[in-house]
Structure 1
Amino acid sequence: MNFRLTFPVEPLGPSIHHSDKVLLSGSCFAEEIGSRLEQHRFDVLLNPNGILFNPLSIARSMTSYLDDKRYTADELFLHEDIWHSWDHHSRFSGTDRNAVLQRINDSQAAAAARLKEADWLVITLGTAHAWYLKEDGRLVGNCHKVPDASFTKKLVPLDEIISALDNMMHRLFFVNRKVNILFTVSPVRYVRDGVVENNLSKAVLLQAVHHLVHKFDRLFYFPAYELVMDDLRDYRFFKEDMVHPNEQALQYVWEHFLKACVQPSSQEVARQVVELLRAKGHKPFNPESPAHKQFLQAMAKKARALQEQNPSLDFGDLLRYFET
């Protein structure tokens, strides 16, 4: 008997190669996929604004990169002795206003350069709910633990999401004529909004994405949401909060992502990288034994061969570890 509903994940037409420049933006699920791409030696710039959840904030961040925007000190605000930006994740925040501003603008500059030359833009949408400051109505990308009473929450209408992403992409395609865009919808369940509200939010995001994917030739969709919700479909694949997919689920999605979205030759490089990383993580019973030294020499030889075959990739950390 079959106790799971599996479905085929169609491979993309163009696929991601190690030589491609990739920019990822979006929710914490984008961080999971992006960190795995980085680990497997893909050329990645991950979340230049930090984690962003709603499509309007993501679209606005992309527009700021296209405008080569630099933030000024008066665009920061002070809360509990910490300086923040409403457009950025709290990983940019700090007690030194100038240092916060420098981190933000360094990231803006890197993102502006990357977006103009990117082969792939990967956007992960988390929620269709957005938060607005009551005092002036501005959209916020992160609430920074400011009390809820300071904000108004709104389910962004479908046409507003489509318009924001559509306008951003038209500008992007004018500047970067080669970029492909891959959309995913995060399988993280935003139950803080309410279970019914979360499902409505995901439905709006899915409808918006599929509308856009059918409108443009260079837009694609990877079904991360469906792999967790319809294929795995079990709370044992979630962390204790019953909201975030656990490591097993993330690895399952990653394996499908590799097969569907990554060029076969790069899949093979990624497989060899995994082998070397596992070897690096191996804890020997006796580090001074001849057997362990032979093991290190064998792994160093594999790392050197991989580096020679892929001179544009950096395996220096692995070579240093195995040769030390």
Structure 2
Amino acid sequence: MNFFAHIDLKPLPMPITHQQKLLLIGSCFTEHIGNNLSDLKFNVLQNPNGILFETESVARSLVSYIQHKQYAAADLFHYNELWQSWDHHSRFSNPSLEAALTAINQSQTEAHHFLKDADWLIITLGSSFVYKLNDAGRFVANCHKAPGQWFTKHLLPIDEQIALLDNTIHQLFHFNPRLKIIFTISPVRHLRDGVVENNRSKARLLETVHHLVNKFDRLFYFPAYELVIDVLRDYRFYDIDLAHPNYAATQFVMDKFSECAFTEETKSLIKTIRQIVTAKNHKAFNPESQQHQAFLKQHYEKAVQLAQEHPYLNLQDELQYFKG
């Protein structure tokens, strides 16, 4: 008797490896994937603008990386005693205008150079709802807790989302001819929009993404949304807010991603890396004991051997920790 729906997970025709560069952009679920890949020593850059939820902001940000856009003082606004950007998450906000601009432009530069050489771009879309700033008539990526009357909320039609992403993809492939793109839809439920409205929003994202995947041969779809919504299908896999998938759910999704994205050789390497990383995160009861010193020595030797066998892995933190 089956207790879970079955999803046919198609393996990527070109597997992801540790030698490759991966840029991730999109919703908060992007960071679950990105943090996991980073912990496993993949070469990752995630969300250079901070968390982005909807298609318009994702497309605009990617184009800004291609063009190496640099922000000026006129691009920021002062609110709640902070200098902020309508294009960026609040982690870039700062009481100092100069500091905010420096952080934003450094991130823009890093994203420009990383995207130029990236092998994979993973885009996770979270919502079809966009917010337009009434006075300026422009879309915003983050409202920064400004008064609601400053904005007009709008459910972006499918054809507009397709046009935005289609144009962006053409620019991406011209900028980086070897780039491959994986689309996912975030399983985070935007309940503040309403249950019905959230489902309409996700449905538009699904139609948009599948239209594009069917058009371009270097675009792929990974069903993170369906794995949580249709396979797990249970509130015990959500956090207390009933909107965000919990640790068990995100790990389930990552396990399935590993199945279709990595070769057996990469999976074996991941297992070894995870042992090293877990050992580094181990909190010693008595750091000065002979037993702990032997533990450090043993794992230092393992990390050295791993670094020699796979010089493309960044194990500097682990080597420094075990060496003491």
Is TM > 0.5 for Structure 1 vs Structure 2? yes
For structure 1, which segment, 255-264 or 304-313, has the greater mean C-alpha deviation from structure 2 after superposition?
255-264
**Deviation of 1:285 (Å):** 4.1
Aligned-pair identity in percent equals: 51
**Deviation of 1:123 (Å):** 0.4
**Residue of structure 2 equivalent to 1:53:** 53
Deviations 1:241-283 (A, max 9, x none): 0000011111111111112112333222221111112222333
Deviations 1:133-179 (A, max 9, x none): 11122000000000111100000000000000000111111121100
**Residue of structure 1 equivalent to 2:124:** 124
| Aligned residue identity for 2:202 | K
User: What SS class does the counterpart of residue 83 from structure 1 fall into?
Assistant: strand
**Residue of structure 1 equivalent to 2:176:** 176
The count of corresponding residues between Structure 1 and Structure 2 is 324
Alignment of 1:222-301 (within 5 A): 222-301=222-301
**Deviation of 1:110 (Å):** 0.9
Q: What are the ranges of 5 or more consecutive residues in structure 2 without an aligned counterpart? A: none
| Aligned residue identity for 2:151 | F
**Residue of structure 2 equivalent to 1:95:** 95
**Residue of structure 1 equivalent to 2:215:** 215
Deviations 1:51-72 (A, max 9, x none): 1000111001111111111111
For structure 1, which segment, 97-106 or 279-288, has the greater mean C-alpha deviation from structure 2 after superposition?
279-288
**Deviation of 1:2 (Å):** 2.5
TM-score between both structures, scaled by the size of structure 1: 0.97
User: What SS class does the counterpart of residue 244 from structure 1 fall into?
Assistant: coil
TM-score between both structures, scaled by the size of structure 2: 0.97
- CA pair 284-70 structure 1, distance change in 2 beyond 3 A: closer
User: What SS class does the counterpart of residue 87 from structure 1 fall into?
Assistant: coil
Q: Tell me the distance in 2 between the aligned counterparts of 1:68 and 1:317.
A: 31
Q: CA-atom RMSD, angstroms?
A: 1.2
**Residue of structure 2 equivalent to 1:309:** 309
Alignment of 1:150-161 (within 5 A): 150-161=150-161
Q: Tell me the distance in 2 between the aligned counterparts of 1:264 and 1:176.
A: 28
Deviations 1:62-106 (A, max 9, x none): 111111111110010011111110001100001000110111111
| Aligned residue identity for 1:240 | I
**Deviation of 1:295 (Å):** 2.5
| Aligned residue identity for 1:309 | E
**Residue of structure 2 equivalent to 1:69:** 69
User: What SS class does the counterpart of residue 182 from structure 2 fall into?
Assistant: strand
| Aligned residue identity for 1:292 | H
| Aligned residue identity for 2:15 | S
Q: Tell me the distance in 2 between the aligned counterparts of 1:284 and 1:261.
A: 35
| Aligned residue identity for 1:196 | V
**Residue of structure 2 equivalent to 1:319:** 319
**Deviation of 1:296 (Å):** 2.3
